[in-house]
Amino acid sequence: MPKTRPSVDIVNADLCDKQHQEAIIRMLDAYALDPMGDGKPLAHEVRKNLIPGLQQHPTTIIFLAYSDNAPVGIAVCFRGFSTFAARPLINIHDFAVLPAHRGKGIGRMMLQAVEDKAVRMGCCKLTLETQEYNRRARRVYESAGFSQAVYRPEAGGSLFYSKTLKS
């Protein structure tokens, strides 16, 4: 019997909509708990400040995936700018599908929604980061056309670095 795709709706989240706000917090908390996330729930202070912070950030773009009216996936994106192309880009900052819904094509559907938005915005590229050992996610990203950024072979591939600042 052929594999059927789940009935999934991908929506551009409205940060003023209470249901979307709750879905964003729920999905990011689930992502934070995942071993490929932070392995622990969002702190109370983060939960309290998350939506206002996203609302105040001028380039926030969030997609939510719903199955049977329940949130099952999230893509938190921010518009950036490529100085080499002099055009906007979209960075997929957080990307997650709930474990029970993985392997059903939902991640690929969300990536397509982000790509469609980027094309409409005139973006030159999409960027994202992933954990080195998150092989499942890497397969999804690679099947959607993502690869390690290499601008000149002699310079090697791009690496994503981070420095945590004390507050």
pLDDT tens digits for 47-59?
999 999 999 999 9
User: What value does the mean pLDDT take over residues 82-102?
Assistant: 96
Q: Is residue 167 part of a domain?
A: no
In a domain, 77, yes or no: yes
Q: The CATH number of the domain where 144 resides is what?
A: 3.40.630.30
Q: Does residue 26 belong to any structural domain of this protein? A: yes
Say if residue 132's pLDDT is above 70. Answer: yes
Ranges assigned E (strand) in the chain: 8-12, 60-67, 70-82, 87-97, 126-128
Taking residues 19-29, what's their average pLDDT? 98
Residue-averaged pLDDT of the chain: 94
Share above pLDDT 90 across residues of the chain, in percent, rounded to a whole number: 81
More confident: 39 or 92: 92
Q: Which residue in 138, 70, 132 sits closest to 100, CA to CA?
A: 70
Please compute the mean of the pLDDT values over residues 105-109 and round it to a whole number: 96
Task: Answer yes or no: is pLDDT of 1 > 80.
Answer: no
CA pair distance 8, 29, nearest whole angstrom: 21
Asked if residue 164 belongs to a domain, the reply is no
Q: Give the pLDDT confidence score for residue 159 in this predicted structure.
A: 86
Task: Check residue 2 and give its pLDDT.
Answer: 55
Contact 127, 89 (CB under 8 A): yes
Overall domain count for the chain: 1
In a domain, 103, yes or no: yes
Q: Bigger pLDDT: 160 or 19?
A: 19
What lies within 8 Å, CB to CB, of 97 at 6+ separation is: 65, 72, 73, 106, 107, 110
Residue 154 lies in a domain: no
Residue 5 binned pLDDT confidence (cut-offs 50, 70, 90): low
From residue 21, alpha-carbon distances to 2, 45, 99, 162 in Å are 36, 16, 21, 28
Instruction: Write out the residue range of the structural domain in which residue 92 sits.
Output: 8-148
